[in-house]
Amino acid sequence: MLVILIPDTDENSEEYKQTWKHLSSLEKIRLKKHKVQGRGQGLTEIYLIGNTAEVNQEEIESLPAVERVVRITHDFRILGRHSKETGSIDFEYNGVRFNQDSFHIFAGLCAVDNPDNVERMLQALQENGQVCTRMGAYKPRTNPYSFQGHGKECLPYVFELAGKYGIKVIAMEVTHEAHIEEIDECLEKLGRPTGVMLQIGTRNTQNFELLKAIGRQNTYPVLLKRGFGISLSESLNAAEYLASEGNNQVIFCLRGMKTSFNEPHRNMVDFAHLPIVKRLTKMPVCIDPSHSVGTRDSSPDGVLDVLHATSQGIISGANMVLVDFHPSPSEALVDGPQALTLDELPKFIEDTKITRDAYKKRIALWK
């Protein structure tokens, strides 16, 4: 059961104390408080955990600090969209707003290789009005002998250059709890020239200890990739692990599924699930067309397959696009075959604008 308090309720007020006292007196029910900083107001939600079947809903609704009570009948307690709930997870990080209506492109390097390529990438982003990017420092690789990423060694120049080119948020995968500390220490040392969104890769979607560790911190928002070989519900539960530990600034990323029928795509593009994730949960949803499609092929109409897939996600309301670019794809150390080139960036952005506008027109039609 979820108890939503009147916005901006002060925890020192009589109303709050009386409400908390009553809820604490409920037998065999554990309370978990959750604070959400919404647009202009602070919301407090209290989760009643245990067997709430016997709890009198009307009695709780009549408590002085309570706005409403939602009976949660299915999974995803915090991130799920429960009966009559509207709105979405809505947060601002380093000046960039994320919710189920926002739209941002995170174009960048799958893996950081050298300062020169990082700089060329970031400069191109700035020239094209972008403030977000992706930069892989810790790379989980199928083959133990493949390049594993430069790790913490590359963080100083990546963060410094990001600051130089006005980048506000870098999506960066972490594969171990220790990486959070490494990122945090480096950013702190440099005076936080940029921000980081911690990315959890598809191979770690169910690494529960990593999820819990990332969920325990609130400094960085999280981008969780859907597990490529598990059900959607299992991946959404993985996102809930983050929220259950206290961090609900979570964006869910569709990145294609491993099946025996995905060929000639690298993974089976699953962007048709995008509206379903929005219906089942309040999370903003990202798409990763690069890891889904996996090639630089284009169709006879001249449009890259990666862009066709991107459009399919955006036309259904994607809130974010994570996409691989590289100044020289043939020299990239990871995933070169799917990287777009810097001279393709302006058209890529223009194409997403066309589709995003079409999506807006579509929803206006159905309002």
> Which spans of this chain sit near ligand PEP (rule: CB under 6 A)?
110, 136, 173, 201-203, 225, 255, 288, 291
Q: Which C-beta is closer to ligand PEP: that of 110 or that of 239?
A: 110
Tokens matching residue 295:
């090639």
Q: Which amino acid is at 142?
A: T
Name the region of 338 (left: φ>0; alpha: ψ -120 to 50; beta: rest).
alpha
Q: Which C-beta is closer to ligand PEP: that of 110 or that of 320?
A: 110
Tell me the angle at which helices 155-164 and 177-189 cross, rounded to the nearest 10 degrees.
50
What pairs with residue 80 in β-bridges?
281
Residue nearest ligand PEP by beta-carbon distance? 201
Sign of CA dihedral 253, 259, 261, 262: positive
Q: Which C-beta is closer to ligand PEP: that of 136 or that of 317?
A: 136
Q: Which does 202 bind (CB under 5 to 8 A by kind): ligand PEP, Mn ion, none?
A: ligand PEP
Q: Which C-beta is closer to ligand PEP: that of 288 or that of 351?
A: 288
Closest among 326, 310, 323, 322 to 359, alpha carbons compared: 310
**What is residue 237's three-state secondary structure?**
helix
Q: How far is the CB of 335 from Mn ion (least distance, A)?
A: 4
Q: How far is the CB of 17 from Mn ion (least distance, A)?
A: 51
Q: How far is the CB of 170 from ligand PEP (least distance, A)?
A: 12
**What is residue 69's three-state secondary structure?**
strand
Q: Which C-beta is closer to ligand PEP: that of 57 or that of 148?
A: 148
Q: Which C-beta is closer to ligand PEP: that of 291 or that of 296?
A: 291
Q: How far is the CB of 45 from ligand PEP (least distance, A)?
A: 31
Q: Residue 219 gets which letter from DSSP?
A: S
Q: How far is the CB of 10 from Mn ion (least distance, A)?
A: 47
335 binds Mn ion (CB under 5 A): yes
Pairing of strands 250-254, 222-225: parallel
Tokens matching residue 353:
């604008």
Q: Which does 255 bind (CB under 5 to 8 A by kind): Mn ion, ligand PEP, none?
A: ligand PEP
Q: How far is the CB of 137 from ligand PEP (least distance, A)?
A: 11
CA gap 19, 133 in Å, rounded: 44
Pairing of strands 2-5, 42-49: antiparallel
Q: Which does 160 bind (CB under 5 to 8 A by kind): ligand PEP, Mn ion, none?
A: none
* Site map 18..57 versus Mn ion, x via CB under 5 A: ----------------------------------------
Tokens matching residue 130:
């972008």
Q: Which C-beta is closer to Mn ion: that of 108 or that of 195?
A: 108
**R_g of the chain computed on alpha carbons:** 22
Q: Which does 80 bind (CB under 5 to 8 A by kind): Mn ion, ligand PEP, none?
A: none
* Site map 106..125 versus Mn ion, x via CB under 5 A: ----x---------------
Q: How far is the CB of 171 from ligand PEP (least distance, A)?
A: 8
CA 53 to chain CA centroid, Å, is 33
Q: Residue 92 gets which letter from DSSP?
A: E
Tokens matching residue 297:
């092929």
Please give the residue ranges that form the binding site for Mn ion (CB under 5 A). Answer: 110, 335
